[in-house]
Amino acid sequence: MAQKFTAREPAAASVLCEDDRARVTRYDFAPGAETGWHVHHMPYVVVPLTDCEFLIESASGVTRVTQKAGAAYSRDRGVEHNVVNGGEAPMAFIEIEIKPIA
């Protein structure tokens, strides 16, 4: 019997600001919503607007990460993953992608 997968709702992404130095995007997730698999081509910083229960899917597996509202973390470019709201409440964060200096 073929295994069935339930499609996840996509997170809502809204670009708040973009110039030659950075792109700032707000992501809003219903419980269970996801970004979809993607690769970061620039270094980036994430600032949660709400407490977040992340499920991070990557080639190495699934990791659960809890972040409090206002906490920030950064990652280098090249990260490939899917971010899922693994909690029972809506969650939101700001992602700041840092563009290379021309």
* Residue 38's CATH number: 2.60.120.10
In the predicted model, what is the mean pLDDT of residues 24-36?
Answer: 97
Asked if residues 95 and 46 have their Cβ atoms less than 8 Å apart, the reply is yes
pLDDT at 37 exceeding the cut of 60: yes
In the predicted model, what is the mean pLDDT of residues 39-58?
Answer: 97
Higher pLDDT, 43 or 5: 43
Give me the number of domains the chain comprises. 1
The parent domain of residue 53 ranges over 12-98
Supply the pLDDT for residue 6. Answer: 57
Give a yes or no: residue 55 inside a domain.
yes
Give a yes or no: residue 2 inside a domain.
no
Q: Which among 93, 47, 84, 49 is positioned nearest to 64, based on CA atoms? A: 84
- DSSP assignment of 41-76: SS-EEEEESS-EEEEEEETTEEEEEEE-TT--EEE-
- Interacting residues of 30 by C-beta distance below 8 A, sequence separation 6+: 9, 85, 90
Supply the pLDDT for residue 4. Answer: 45
Supply the pLDDT for residue 3. Answer: 45
Q: Which among 80, 89, 87 is positioned nearest to 54, based on CA atoms? A: 87
Dist CA 29 CA 9 (whole Å) = 9
